Amino acid sequence: MRPALLIAAILIGSATTAHAGPPINFDDAALRAVKFVDKNEGWAVGDQGAIWHTIDSGKTWERQPTGSRASLRAVQFLTPYTGFAAGRVELPNGAGSAGVVLATVDGGGTWRELSTSLMPGLNAVQFFDENRGIVVGDGSDVFPSGAFRTDDGGKSWVPLKGPRALTWLGLDCTSFDSGLIYGQDRVVVLWNGSIVEPAGLPTLPPDCRVAARIGDRAIAIGCGAGGPELIDLQLQRNPAGNAKTPDQSAARTQAASISSVNFVGEHVWTVGRPGTLIWHSLDSGKTWEAQKTDSFLPFHALHMLDDKIGWAVGELGTIIGTTDGGKTWTTLKTGGQRAAVLFTHARSEAVPLGATALLGGEDGYLATVVAPGISSRLSAVMRSIGGAAGETGGIEAWPDYMAERPTNGGPELLTLPRDQALLGRLVLAIRTWRPEIIVTDRLATDAPLCDQVMLLHTKEAFVLAADPKAFPEQIEKLGLAIHAAKKLYAIAPPGEKTSVTLDLTGFQPALGEAVKDSLESVAGALGTGANIPDRERFQLIAHRLPGAEKHTTLMQGIELAPGGTARRKKTIRPETDAISTADLAKNAALRRQLEAMLANTEAVGGRDKALAQIAGAIVAMPDAVAARTGVALGFRLVRDGQWTSARELFALVAERYPAEPASIEAVRWLLRYHASGEVRRRIELGQQPIFQQAAFAPAVVPAAGGPTTPQNGIQTAAYIEPLAAPPAYRFSSADAFRQWNQACVDLEPKLAAFGAGYALDPANNLCLVAARRHLGLTGHITRQLGGIIPTGDLAGGWPARLADELRLDTGHLPQTTPLVDCSSTPKKPFLDGKLDDECWKTATPLTVKSADHSAAAKGYTTTTRFVRDDQFLYVAVECGHPEGKQVPKAEQRARDADLVGHDRVELLLDLDRDYQTYYRLRVDHRGCVAEDCWGDIAWNPKWFVAVDSTKTGWTAELAIPLAELTGDGAPAGHVWAMNVVRVVPSVGVDSWGGPSGAAPRPTSMGLLRFAAAK
Confidence band of 940 (pLDDT split at 50, 70, 90): very high
Q: What is the pLDDT of residue 184?
A: 72
What digits encode the pLDDT tens for the residues 475-526? 998 999 999 999 999 999 877 778 899 999 888 887 788 888 888 777 766 6
Map out the domains of the chain as residue ranges: 65-197, 204-333, 341-550, 580-654, 661-687+729-813, 819-1010
Rg of the chain on CA atoms, in Å: 29
More confident residue, 38 or 408: 38
The neighbour count for residue 324, using CB atoms within 10 Å, is: 12
pLDDT of 724 above 60: no
What digits encode the pLDDT tens for the residues 87-98? 999 887 667 788
How far is residue 130's CA from residue 151's CA, in Å, rounded to a whole number? Answer: 9
The neighbour count for residue 494, using CB atoms within 10 Å, is: 9
Confidence band of 149 (pLDDT split at 50, 70, 90): very high
Instruction: Write down the H helix ranges in 311-434.
Output: 353-356, 375-384, 420-433
Q: Between 3.20.20.100, 3.30.390.30, 3.40.50.300, 2.120.10.30, what CATH number should domain 204-333 receive?
A: 2.120.10.30
Q: Which residues of 637-657 are buried (b: 16+ CB within 10 A; e: fewer)?
A: bbeebbbbbbbbbbbbbbebb
918-922 contacts: CB < 8 A, separation 24 or more?
918/678, 918/977, 918/1000, 918/1002, 918/1005, 919/678, 919/965, 920/1000, 921/958, 921/960
Q: Is CATH 3.40.50.10320 correct for 341-550?
A: yes
Identify the DSSP state of 59. S
How far is residue 491's CA from residue 352's CA, in Å, rounded to a whole number? Answer: 8
- The Cβ-side half-sphere exposure at 726, using a 13 Å CA radius, reads 26
Most confident of 176-180, 248-252, 668-672: 668-672
Q: What is the pLDDT of residue 721?
A: 40
Q: Between 3.40.50.1370, 2.60.40.1190, 3.40.228.10, 2.40.50.140, what CATH number should domain 819-1010 receive?
A: 2.60.40.1190
931: β partners: 921
- Count of residues making up the chain: 1014
Q: What percent of the chain has pLDDT over 70?
A: 83
Residues 6 or more apart whose Cβ sits within 8 Å of residue 507: 513, 514, 584, 585, 588, 589
pTM: 0.87
Q: Do residues 781 and 788 make contact, with C-beta atoms less than 8 angstroms apart?
A: no
Average pLDDT on 457-473 reads 96
Q: What is the pLDDT of residue 14?
A: 31
Confidence band of 816 (pLDDT split at 50, 70, 90): confident
Residue type for 105, please?
Answer: V
Confidence band of 726 (pLDDT split at 50, 70, 90): very low
Q: Give the closest residue to 113 by CA, choosing from 102, 121, 104, 124.
A: 102
Q: Which of 599-608, 776-785, 838-847 is predicted with the least confidence, judged by mean pLDDT? A: 776-785
If DSSP codes are grouped into helix, strand and coil, which group holds residue 745? helix
What digits encode the pLDDT tens for the residues 842-888? 999 999 987 665 788 889 999 999 999 999 999 999 999 999 999 99
Confidence band of 246 (pLDDT split at 50, 70, 90): very low
What digits encode the pLDDT tens for the residues 368-400? 999 988 788 889 989 988 999 999 888 888 877
Q: Do residues 195 and 163 make contact, with C-beta atoms less than 8 angstroms apart?
A: yes
Q: Is CATH 3.30.70.140 correct for 65-197?
A: no
What is the side-by-side strand order in the sheet with 299-304? Answer: 299-304, 310-314, 319-322, 330-333
Q: Do residues 425 and 397 make contact, with C-beta atoms less than 8 angstroms apart?
A: no
Average pLDDT on 799-813 reads 83
Q: What is the pLDDT of residue 414?
A: 58
How far is residue 480's CA from residue 468's CA, in Å, rounded to a whole number? Answer: 10
What's the mean pLDDT when you consider all of the chain? 84
What digits encode the pLDDT tens for the residues 197-209? 765 555 666 666 6
Average pLDDT on 89-114 reads 89
Q: Write the DSSP string, 36-47.
A: ESSSS-EEEEEG
What is the side-by-side strand order in the sheet with 194-196? Answer: 168-175, 178-183, 187-191, 194-196
Average pLDDT on 170-188 reads 83
Q: Do residues 389 and 275 make contact, with C-beta atoms less than 8 angstroms apart?
A: no
Q: Do 65-197 and 204-333 have matching folds? A: yes
The neighbour count for residue 337, using CB atoms within 10 Å, is: 17
